[in-house]
Amino acid sequence: MASSIVDASSSGAVPATGNLERPAALSSLVVSNITQAQSDPPSATSETTIPLKTNDSEYGPAPFDEDSDGDCIIKASDGVKYKLYRAILRLASSVWKDMFDMPQPYPIGAEGSAEAPDLPFIELSEPSTTLLPLFRLLYPIPKDQIPTFDLAHVLVLTYDKYDIDVGTLVPYLADLLSEPSFQKHPLEAYGLAWRLKKGAVVEAASRYLHRVDLEKKETKDKLLHHSGDFGSLLALHELRYRRELALDDFISGLPLESFRCTYHVNLSATEAKNLRASVRKALGIARPRCWDL
């Protein structure tokens, strides 16, 4: 690709002191620089050599590409287009069903697009990073687990927006709602389970939040972001309170005399208090074992 070289002397700016002749040495230097620029490969960091991406003509990957037999075109907010079957979208979403029952606009030639003029053309407010995984989940093709909580959060909101059964999404959230995920991201897992109304998963994830400071603003903000409901915070406080009561009942029934060493005939009040605190701390983990005491 030839670089576009603009000579500063061709801008039309004329010195106020009249016509000045360019020195011969300077002229030869300019000619040399132009010749060198034309022969050298353009730099990868040069703005003039980086082609701009034309989203208006970009299609998503198969089976949503331009060669698809789909009978409608959906355009994402970032310009990526998908050729899809209306029947699949209508079955999945009552919103899209009603949308396709109404007269649809068609692509106009002013865009320079090559779409068939008889295909409905719909622009959505979601970007391709949301629509592509959504369409893959709706189509009868092999599917992967949702890899991140952020994507899961966006997909759940999109399912709600278009009235898609969120229950069909749950099988692909199994990795995020598993025990290893609770250990690494307990707050996000708890929030996602709450949003999906998975009570058993909510309680399981809450075990890993027993030592999290719920009074911190960033903790509250993150929880509300993923759960979408202030009730999730109240429920977490309630679950923690119930667990504290259970710990108190358990510790109060411990035979503390069994923990005495040979140098102590009786435990003092302070020693008993410290022992109970140690037991409480040991039991504060998600799934305590007997040797944790």
- Global pTM reads 0.67
Give CA–CA dist 164/178, Å, rounded.
24
- Reading the block at residue 213, the tokens are 């400071």
- What is the tens place of the pLDDT at every residue in 253-274? 767 666 666 666 666 677 667 7
Give burial (CB, 10 Å; 0-12/13-18/19+) of 73. buried
Residue 61 above 80 pLDDT?
Answer: yes
- Is 81 within 8 Å of 131 (Cβ atoms)? no
User: Which pLDDT belongs to residue 56?
Assistant: 52
- What is the tens place of the pLDDT at every residue in 226-259? 999 899 999 988 988 887 787 777 767 767 666 6
In the sheet that holds 81-84, the strands lie side by side as 81-84, 72-75, 121-123
- The lowest-confidence range among 59-63, 67-71, 102-106, 286-290 is 286-290
pLDDT above 70 coverage of the chain, percent: 64
